[in-house]
Amino acid sequence: MQVVITAVGPDNRGLADPIVHSVTGLGANIAEIQMYDHDRESVFSMLTRIELDDSRFDEIRSMMAEISKRTGLSIRTWSPQIVGRRPRLAICVTYRQEPALALLRAIRDGRVKADVSLLAGNRPNCRGLAEQFDVPWFQIGDSMGKPDDEQLIAVCDEHEVDFIVLARYMRILPAASCWKYAGGRIINLHHGLLPSFPGIQPYHDAYASRMLTYGATCHFIVPDLDAGCQIIYQSTFLVPPGTSRDEIIRRGQQDNEPHCLVEGVRRVVDGEVALHFNRVVACK
């Protein structure tokens, strides 16, 4: 089976060695290693992807827990090859309800084969969705909308979440959070076509460029913002010349963005695509 191990913590010497020695000692094949030292923050981050016999998964988890206690690293041991249950999702939201609502409906109707473990928001706007679909709601951060990134990771750990879905969650996750759930476990909906229109106002930017094609992008989040576009799925729509910007935004927000997120998440939970070495690869 495939196993992803992530480790984040205060930088020090000899942090990678016990992880590498433990997995090789169990006869695992190392398929990928990424390491990064955040010098200014004195933070060490590491991702190790291995192939391991199924019968030894509990053993490797126990070994990583022991290393975590000994080194002070925050270590997570996870397998994308989920057996005996459906993938668990955490849906993160801010203001807009349409993408999260579409995903919740797709899951309810069986089009996306996953379970929603929680909804989390740095604003209370989408709390009603959690009540409507009987999903636990977590207000992340303070009343002014400033999120608590450690709290978000803590509730995802508590609910044993497999994938964090950023459904128009209008905050940038810090590198430490991205490393903790690295390996293709964070899915983001961007309301523009990447790489052409990044940023917080892609509709405005595309309109200023006199575009007639608009779209949205569902992609994996990776710790390095400059690593490229890990695109899972993109959906587009055409507008005739003279269409107002407000009408374009309305069509994008109400129809196109929800469709893009649902199809992107479906591809991931169905195992059609995965992230390897910061590249999206087809698995089927």
The whole-chain average pLDDT of the chain stands at 94
**pTM (predicted TM-score):** 0.95
- Dump pLDDT digits (tens) for 38-88: 656 668 999 999 999 999 999 999 999 999 999 999 999 999 999 999 999
Which pLDDT band holds residue 284 (cuts at 50, 70, 90)? confident
pLDDT tens digits, 64-74: 999 999 999 99
pLDDT of residue 41: 61
Q: Which pLDDT band holds residue 144 (cuts at 50, 70, 90)?
A: confident
Q: How far apart are the first and last CA of the chain?
A: 16
* 257 vs 171: which has the higher pLDDT: 257
- The pLDDT value recorded for residue 228 is 62
Task: Give the pLDDT of residue 117.
Answer: 98
Checking if the pLDDT of 268 tops 60, the result is yes
Look at strands 230-238 and 213-220 and give their pairing: antiparallel
Q: What angle do CA 219, 262, 93 make, to 5 degrees?
A: 75
**pLDDT-derived band at 90, boundaries 50, 70, 90:** very high
